[in-house]
Amino acid sequence: MPTSYGWNTVYKYSYAKEVVMASDLYSATNASFSYEQIGRRIQRMVASPDVQKVQFITVSRLDGEPSEIWDTVLQEIEETDGIQVDRREDGSVWIGWKRYIDG
pLDDT of residue 9: 53
| Cβ–Cβ under 8 Å, residues 85 and 71 | no
Provide CB contacts within 8 A for 26, sequence distance 6+: none
Cα 45 from Cα 55, distance rounded (Å):
11
Among 45, 97, 41, 89, smallest CA distance to 64 is for 41
Q: What share of the chain is helix, strand, coil (3-state, %, to 5)?
A: 55, 20, 25
Q: Please, what are the averages of pLDDT over each run of 10 residues along the chain (103 residues)?
A: 52 50 51 84 93 92 92 94 94 84 55
DSSP state of 89: T
Burial bucket for residue 66 (CB in 10 Å: 0-12, 13-18, 19+): middle
pLDDT of residue 101: 54
pLDDT of residue 22: 46
Alpha-carbon distance values, 87 to 39, 77, 84 (Å):
17, 12, 10
pLDDT of residue 25: 46
